[in-house]
Amino acid sequence: MELDLNVLRPQERVSLQLRLLYEREGFRKYHMGRFEEYGLYQENRRFLSSEQVITFTDLDGRLLALKPDVTLSIAKNAQVEPGRCGRYYYQENVYRPSQESHTFREISQMGLECIGAVDAAAAAQVVSLALRSLALTGRDFVLEISHMGFVTGLFDAVGAAEAVRPRLLTCIRDKNVHELRKTAEAAGLSRQGTDALCRLGTLTGSWREVLSGAEVLALNAAMGAALEELGKLCQALEDRGQTDHWKIDLSLVNDMEYYNGLVLQGYLAGLPRAVLRGGQYDPLAEQFRPGARAIGFALYLDELDRLSDAPAEEQAGPVMLNVALPKGRLGDKVYDLLAGVGYGCPENYADTRKLVVENPKAGIRYFLVKPSDVAIYVEHGAADIGIVGKDILAESGADVYELLDTGLGKCRMCVAGPKDFQEDQSRALRVATKFVNIAKRYYAAQGRDIDIIQLNGSIELAPILGLSDVIVDIVETGTTLRENDLKVLTEFMPISARFIANRASYQFKHRQIETLLKKLTEVTES
């Protein structure tokens, strides 16, 4: 009797198909236990996505960990003959901290690794299998491909100091051009160097077009070598008949300590975040085998169970952009801005109690949400785009693209306190705020111990009543502070409304989002 794959959950069905695919391609199953000696992760913590690991002591007194990573174990323990390329696949659960739940999540992964003498053919095989893995889901998909050598080479060419590179990398990853420019200028980079970094976000699309446009930026041998490697890979994919569902995006970057070559990121229609990640990680492989190279990827199986069993249907009519519109004064300004560039609605949202208003002709649909919820709706894919204050965005840590500073709702994040305030360095500073994460990051950067007092309103009362020494809050005019005998002690973050996009939506509704972004950019910069 044949097994009917349709009775299986998406995760089960795809994992079975992937196993057959990988074994046909010459990959051997790698299996590891649930626990690993903690020393492996402690010694190689720079290669982990987080230093937070669940540990315990076993009956023999050994310190063990619930595994946060599979690649480390394969890199250490895989039996690879000198001069050969070891090919392995795995299906394992890993345990990583979750920002959303503030606890640990069990994540089901299936992936593959090539370790040892990895050549261009092996790399092309891995990328090809990444495409075939996504295709097995039966959904529309996009695989982004980039090369870390191009970005790190550009950093070298423009003279970016090591200390500023992580911040530059974050801005590039988030397509946050406005803060990328500010960061580069503050770091003393030249106008030409800053412009070159800001051009990375435009280098996305078909491989011949992108690589041709990137050639003028190839300022050193490392950048040229990266483009050459990408070109050979793309040609190899085309030779395999894989011409669709992938693109080059040179703003796709990842941890410089981990990845040193190709990087991959895959999206499925209907899911809000990447379901496949990977790339070339020679620095990790060399920890255990001098001179070894390595490349691989992981597919997050848990995400697949979020898909409905029914195949995705083609949308009839125009593609609709779903916008998280903040209620209140900022939302009114945002709507006027969008309506002014052709995205208004026949029905005035202010005259109705509806929470959803739309204009199919303009291809726009608005969700009226609380300002503090805008980033959440966008990050989780309920909305494709939104406009949200930088304060809310920074506090939430939402994983979204930050595409434009609209200039609306300008104010600043400040430390404020009594007019006669004198800081006592001998004890922890008591800080009252509703922006807990922002305050923690600000003082952590200074190495200052603080006690956080979380409040939700009338923050100014805290130092007046002796509840705190200072407050961290938004200041627009400063009138409330002055009328309560308080003053701004430090301004440390400008605030304005930012245009953000869900990372997956940006792949599948790229043309629509870019069209809107271009119109907004023209208006806000004029």
| Digit-coded pLDDT (tens) for 243-300 | 999 999 999 998 767 899 999 999 999 999 999 999 999 999 998 989 999 999 999 9
Instruction: Name the pLDDT band for 125 (thresholds 50, 70, 90).
Output: very high
Instruction: Name the pLDDT band for 317 (thresholds 50, 70, 90).
Output: low
Q: Where in the chain is the domain with CATH 3.30.930.10?
A: 1-129+280-313, 141-268
Does the predicted TM-score (pTM) go above 0.75?
yes
Mean pLDDT of the chain, nearest integer: 91
Q: Where in the chain is the domain with CATH 3.40.190.10?
A: 321-406+497-525, 411-495
Instruction: Name the pLDDT band for 440 (thresholds 50, 70, 90).
Output: very high
Percent of all residues in the chain with a pLDDT value above 70, rounded to a whole number? 96
Q: Which residues contact 142 (CB under 8 A, 6 or more apart)?
A: 245, 246, 247, 266, 267, 507, 508
Residue 304 confidence (pLDDT) above 50: yes
Residue 308 confidence (pLDDT) above 70: no
- E strand or H helix at 512, and its extent? helix 510-525
Instruction: Name the pLDDT band for 33 (thresholds 50, 70, 90).
Output: confident
- Max intra-chain CA distance, the chain: 84
1-129+280-313: CATH class: alpha beta
Q: Distance (Å, rounded) from C-alpha 191 to C-alpha 276?
A: 36
pLDDT at position 4: 60
CATH of 141-268, one of 3.30.930.10, 2.40.50.100, 3.40.50.1100, 3.40.640.10: 3.30.930.10
Q: How far apart are the first and last CA of the chain?
A: 69
pLDDT at position 516: 96
CATH of 411-495, one of 3.30.1390.10, 3.40.47.10, 3.60.15.10, 3.40.190.10: 3.40.190.10
Residue 524 confidence (pLDDT) above 50: yes
321-406+497-525: CATH class: alpha beta
Instruction: Name the pLDDT band for 311 (thresholds 50, 70, 90).
Output: very low
- In b/e form, how buried is each residue of 349-370, taking b as 16+ CB within 10 angstroms? beeeeeeebbbeebbbbbbbbe
Express the helix, strand and coil content of the chain in percent, nearest 5 each.
40, 25, 35
pLDDT at position 1: 45
Instruction: Name the pLDDT band for 43 (thresholds 50, 70, 90).
Output: confident
